[in-house]
Amino acid sequence: MPPFLYIFLGALAIVSALGVIVQRNPVHSLLALIATLMAVAILFIGEDAVVVGFLQIIVYAGAIMVLFLFVIWLLNLQVETGPTGHLALKLFGSLAAALLVTELFFFLAPPHLQVKFTRQPLGYGSLASLAGKLFTDYLVAFEATSVLLLAAVVGSVALARRLPAADDSRAAEKTAS
């Protein structure tokens, strides 16, 4: 990956990540998050993770973000007006993030970060090598993932289900008050 591309994508990712947390309107936050995900996906592709980069765009920026969009749409959220949260909280949050970044920089600087560089084998990052790993070394984890997804589907359907009895009691509460 050429250095200017790294600088451009890195700057785009950081600016849009900041956009996620400073936007008042949740839809704008979401769009900024999608921009971050896209920039990170291209960084993945630049780091020889082509399949994972495309999966990031399809699954993350596509499916999961559309789910978020549907929820924002469903809840019919208004733009937050006026100051949100306490000033002390904002200061504390920014300070905590700054401290975390300083600490991580300290440990990610060359004297601490010792990695034994290894040549990438032929076909590194290809679909064949990813699938080969997934269905041999990580087969148990892969099967467990299917159970996890099934549990998530059943759980979210159960959560989103409207219980008739609860609805009646709420309606009664509303008419009483």
Partner 1 sequence: MIPLTYMMSLSAIIFAIGVAGVIIRRNILVMFMSIELMLNAVNLAFIALGARLGSMDGQVIVFFVMTVAAAEAAVGLGIIISIFRNRETVHADDLTLMRW
Cα separation, 34 vs 66, whole angstroms: 10
Q: Is 33 in the site for partner 1 (CB under 8 A)?
A: yes
Specify the 3-state DSSP secondary structure of 23.
coil
Residue 169 binds to partner 1 (criterion: CB under 8 A) = no
User: In the bound complex, what is the minimum distance in angstroms from residue 135's beta carbon to partner 1?
Assistant: 10
Residue 79 engages partner 1 in binding (rule: CB under 8 A): no
- The answer to whether 17 touches 36, Cβ cutoff 8 Å, is yes
Nearest distance from C-beta of residue 133 to partner 1, angstroms: 5
Q: Are 28 and 19 in contact (CB under 8 A)?
A: yes
CA dist 142 → 44, 114, 148 (Å)? 22, 31, 10
The reply on whether position 35 binds partner 1 by CB under 8 A is no
- Quick one: 89 exposed, middle or buried, by C-beta within 10 A (0-12, 13-18, 19+)? exposed
Using CB under 8 A as the binding rule, whether residue 124 contacts partner 1 is answered as: yes
Rounded to the nearest whole angstrom, what is the least distance from the CB of residue 115 to partner 1 in the complex? 6
Q: Shortest approach of partner 1 to residue 50 CB, angstroms?
A: 10
- Scanning residues 56 to 75, which ones bind partner 1 (CB under 8 A)? 56, 59-60, 63-64, 67-68, 71-72, 74-75
Is residue 96 at the binding interface for partner 1, with CB under 8 A as the rule? yes
Query: Does the protein bind partner 1 through residue 104 (CB under 8 A)?
Result: yes
Structure tokens at 51: 């399949």
Token pair of 162 as six digits: 């409207």
* Residue from 80, 168, 171, 172 in contact with partner 1 (CB under 8 A): 80
User: What are 39's two structure tokens?
Assistant: 């920039």
Does 10 bind partner 1 (CB under 8 A)? Our answer is: yes
